[in-house]
Amino acid sequence: MKSEVATTYEGLADLLDGAPWDAPTLCSKWLVRHVVAHVTMPVRLTPETFGAEMAAAGGDFAVLSETVAARDASLPVADLLGQLRSPALHAWQPPGGGAEGARSHAVIHSLDVTIALDRPAVAPLEAMTAVLDVLVGAGGSLFGLDLTGLRFEATDAAWSWGDGRLVRAGSGPLVALLSGRTLPTGEALPRA
Protein backbone atom coordinates (compact mmCIF):
# COMPACT_ATOMS: atom_id res chain seq x y z
CA MET A 1 0.00 0.00 0.00
CA LYS A 2 1.34 3.42 -0.97
CA SER A 3 1.88 6.05 1.67
CA GLU A 4 -0.21 9.22 1.64
CA VAL A 5 2.93 11.14 0.72
CA ALA A 6 3.68 8.89 -2.27
CA THR A 7 0.06 9.01 -3.42
CA THR A 8 0.04 12.81 -3.20
CA TYR A 9 3.30 13.37 -5.07
CA GLU A 10 2.52 10.77 -7.75
CA GLY A 11 -0.93 12.29 -8.22
CA LEU A 12 0.65 15.72 -8.57
CA ALA A 13 3.09 14.38 -11.17
CA ASP A 14 0.23 12.83 -13.14
CA LEU A 15 -1.77 16.06 -12.97
CA LEU A 16 1.18 18.21 -14.05
CA ASP A 17 2.22 16.05 -17.00
CA GLY A 18 1.16 18.47 -19.74
CA ALA A 19 -0.19 21.14 -17.36
CA PRO A 20 0.89 24.81 -17.36
CA TRP A 21 4.18 25.02 -15.43
CA ASP A 22 4.30 28.80 -15.58
CA ALA A 23 0.90 29.28 -13.90
CA PRO A 24 0.71 31.04 -10.53
CA THR A 25 0.13 29.05 -7.33
CA LEU A 26 -1.14 29.92 -3.87
CA CYS A 27 2.48 30.49 -2.80
CA SER A 28 3.03 34.16 -3.44
CA LYS A 29 5.65 34.78 -6.15
CA TRP A 30 5.95 31.06 -7.01
CA LEU A 31 4.80 29.48 -10.23
CA VAL A 32 4.01 25.76 -10.47
CA ARG A 33 7.63 25.03 -11.40
CA HIS A 34 8.90 26.80 -8.25
CA VAL A 35 6.60 24.79 -5.96
CA VAL A 36 7.71 21.54 -7.60
CA ALA A 37 11.39 22.57 -7.38
CA HIS A 38 10.84 23.30 -3.69
CA VAL A 39 9.12 20.04 -2.75
CA THR A 40 11.60 17.92 -4.72
CA MET A 41 14.63 19.53 -3.07
CA PRO A 42 15.30 16.42 -0.92
CA VAL A 43 15.87 14.37 -4.09
CA ARG A 44 18.59 16.71 -5.33
CA LEU A 45 20.31 17.82 -2.13
CA THR A 46 22.49 15.45 -0.16
CA PRO A 47 23.02 16.24 3.53
CA GLU A 48 26.36 17.80 2.55
CA THR A 49 24.97 20.00 -0.22
CA PHE A 50 22.03 20.95 2.00
CA GLY A 51 24.52 22.05 4.68
CA ALA A 52 26.44 24.11 2.12
CA GLU A 53 23.21 25.68 0.81
CA MET A 54 22.13 26.46 4.39
CA ALA A 55 25.48 28.10 5.14
CA ALA A 56 25.23 30.17 1.94
CA ALA A 57 21.74 31.26 3.06
CA GLY A 58 23.12 32.43 6.41
CA GLY A 59 21.27 29.65 8.23
CA ASP A 60 17.88 30.96 7.08
CA PHE A 61 15.72 28.14 5.67
CA ALA A 62 13.33 30.62 3.99
CA VAL A 63 16.25 32.13 2.07
CA LEU A 64 17.50 28.65 1.14
CA SER A 65 14.02 27.66 -0.10
CA GLU A 66 13.68 30.78 -2.23
CA THR A 67 17.18 30.35 -3.68
CA VAL A 68 16.77 26.68 -4.53
CA ALA A 69 13.24 27.16 -5.93
CA ALA A 70 14.39 30.04 -8.15
CA ARG A 71 17.43 28.14 -9.40
CA ASP A 72 15.94 24.67 -9.81
CA ALA A 73 12.65 25.80 -11.34
CA SER A 74 14.54 25.95 -14.63
CA LEU A 75 15.29 22.20 -14.56
CA PRO A 76 13.63 20.22 -17.35
CA VAL A 77 9.98 19.40 -16.61
CA ALA A 78 10.68 15.70 -17.21
CA ASP A 79 13.34 15.77 -14.47
CA LEU A 80 11.00 17.50 -11.99
CA LEU A 81 8.19 15.04 -12.79
CA GLY A 82 10.60 12.16 -12.24
CA GLN A 83 11.63 13.64 -8.90
CA LEU A 84 7.97 13.90 -7.82
CA ARG A 85 7.71 10.16 -8.53
CA SER A 86 10.99 9.34 -6.75
CA PRO A 87 10.90 6.83 -3.87
CA ALA A 88 13.58 9.02 -2.22
CA LEU A 89 11.10 11.90 -2.04
CA HIS A 90 8.32 9.61 -0.83
CA ALA A 91 10.52 8.38 2.04
CA TRP A 92 11.95 11.81 3.00
CA GLN A 93 11.06 13.30 6.37
CA PRO A 94 11.94 16.85 7.37
CA PRO A 95 14.35 17.25 10.27
CA GLY A 96 12.28 17.61 13.41
CA GLY A 97 9.02 17.04 11.51
CA GLY A 98 9.04 13.30 10.94
CA ALA A 99 6.31 11.51 9.02
CA GLU A 100 3.70 14.08 10.08
CA GLY A 101 5.83 16.90 8.70
CA ALA A 102 6.38 15.05 5.42
CA ARG A 103 2.63 14.50 5.04
CA SER A 104 1.85 18.15 5.82
CA HIS A 105 4.50 19.36 3.36
CA ALA A 106 3.15 17.14 0.56
CA VAL A 107 -0.51 17.98 1.20
CA ILE A 108 -0.10 21.75 1.63
CA HIS A 109 2.14 22.26 -1.40
CA SER A 110 0.06 19.97 -3.61
CA LEU A 111 -2.95 22.14 -2.73
CA ASP A 112 -0.95 25.27 -3.54
CA VAL A 113 -0.91 23.94 -7.10
CA THR A 114 -4.26 22.16 -7.49
CA ILE A 115 -6.38 24.94 -5.99
CA ALA A 116 -4.64 27.61 -8.07
CA LEU A 117 -5.13 25.52 -11.24
CA ASP A 118 -8.75 24.78 -10.25
CA ARG A 119 -8.08 21.03 -10.34
CA PRO A 120 -9.22 18.35 -7.89
CA ALA A 121 -6.96 17.67 -4.92
CA VAL A 122 -4.45 14.85 -5.40
CA ALA A 123 -3.92 14.29 -1.67
CA PRO A 124 -6.11 11.60 -0.06
CA LEU A 125 -9.00 12.99 1.98
CA GLU A 126 -7.66 11.23 5.10
CA ALA A 127 -4.32 13.01 4.67
CA MET A 128 -6.03 16.39 4.33
CA THR A 129 -8.12 15.90 7.48
CA ALA A 130 -5.02 14.74 9.38
CA VAL A 131 -3.25 17.94 8.30
CA LEU A 132 -6.31 19.96 9.37
CA ASP A 133 -5.96 18.41 12.84
CA VAL A 134 -2.29 19.43 12.97
CA LEU A 135 -3.01 22.97 11.82
CA VAL A 136 -5.82 23.66 14.30
CA GLY A 137 -3.96 21.77 17.03
CA ALA A 138 -1.31 24.47 16.78
CA GLY A 139 -4.03 27.11 17.15
CA GLY A 140 -2.95 28.95 14.01
CA SER A 141 0.55 29.60 15.33
CA LEU A 142 2.31 27.64 12.57
CA PHE A 143 1.35 30.30 10.04
CA GLY A 144 0.73 33.30 12.31
CA LEU A 145 -3.06 33.16 12.14
CA ASP A 146 -5.70 34.25 14.64
CA LEU A 147 -8.35 31.52 14.85
CA THR A 148 -10.23 33.17 17.72
CA GLY A 149 -13.99 33.14 17.18
CA LEU A 150 -13.90 30.90 14.12
CA ARG A 151 -15.52 27.52 13.47
CA PHE A 152 -14.28 25.40 10.58
CA GLU A 153 -16.41 22.72 8.93
CA ALA A 154 -15.39 20.51 6.03
CA THR A 155 -18.05 19.92 3.38
CA ASP A 156 -16.45 16.69 2.16
CA ALA A 157 -15.55 14.98 5.46
CA ALA A 158 -16.85 14.61 9.00
CA TRP A 159 -14.39 17.21 10.30
CA SER A 160 -14.98 20.41 12.26
CA TRP A 161 -13.23 22.53 14.85
CA GLY A 162 -13.82 25.67 16.90
CA ASP A 163 -16.69 27.95 17.86
CA GLY A 164 -17.84 31.18 16.31
CA ARG A 165 -18.17 32.52 12.77
CA LEU A 166 -18.52 29.59 10.38
CA VAL A 167 -15.90 28.96 7.72
CA ARG A 168 -17.26 26.09 5.63
CA ALA A 169 -15.42 24.63 2.64
CA GLY A 170 -13.88 21.45 1.29
CA SER A 171 -10.95 19.96 3.19
CA GLY A 172 -8.44 21.23 0.61
CA PRO A 173 -9.46 24.89 0.76
CA LEU A 174 -9.60 24.66 4.58
CA VAL A 175 -6.02 23.32 4.65
CA ALA A 176 -4.94 26.17 2.37
CA LEU A 177 -6.66 28.79 4.54
CA LEU A 178 -5.20 27.34 7.74
CA SER A 179 -1.77 27.35 6.06
CA GLY A 180 -1.99 31.10 5.65
CA ARG A 181 -2.84 31.04 1.95
CA THR A 182 -5.24 33.37 0.19
CA LEU A 183 -7.71 31.48 -1.97
CA PRO A 184 -8.34 32.50 -5.60
CA THR A 185 -11.64 33.98 -4.35
CA GLY A 186 -9.63 36.38 -2.15
CA GLU A 187 -10.65 34.66 1.08
CA ALA A 188 -7.97 34.53 3.77
CA LEU A 189 -7.87 34.12 7.55
CA PRO A 190 -6.92 36.94 9.92
CA ARG A 191 -3.29 37.22 10.99
CA ALA A 192 -2.36 37.16 14.67
DSSP for 64-132, written as a single string: HHHHHHHHHTTS-HHHHHHHHT-HHHHH---TTTHHHHHHHHHHHHHHHHHHHTT----S-HHHHHHHH
In a domain, 107, yes or no: no
Q: Is residue 163 located within the same domain as residue 74?
A: no
Which band of pLDDT confidence, cut at 50, 70 and 90, is reported for residue 152?
very high
Q: What is the arithmetic mean of pLDDT over 156-160?
A: 98
The reported pLDDT for the residue numbered 2 is 75
Structural domain range at position 150? 124-192
Q: What is the arithmetic mean of pLDDT over 13-34?
A: 96
In a domain, 14, yes or no: yes
Q: What is the arithmetic mean of pLDDT over 7-31?
A: 96
In a domain, 109, yes or no: no
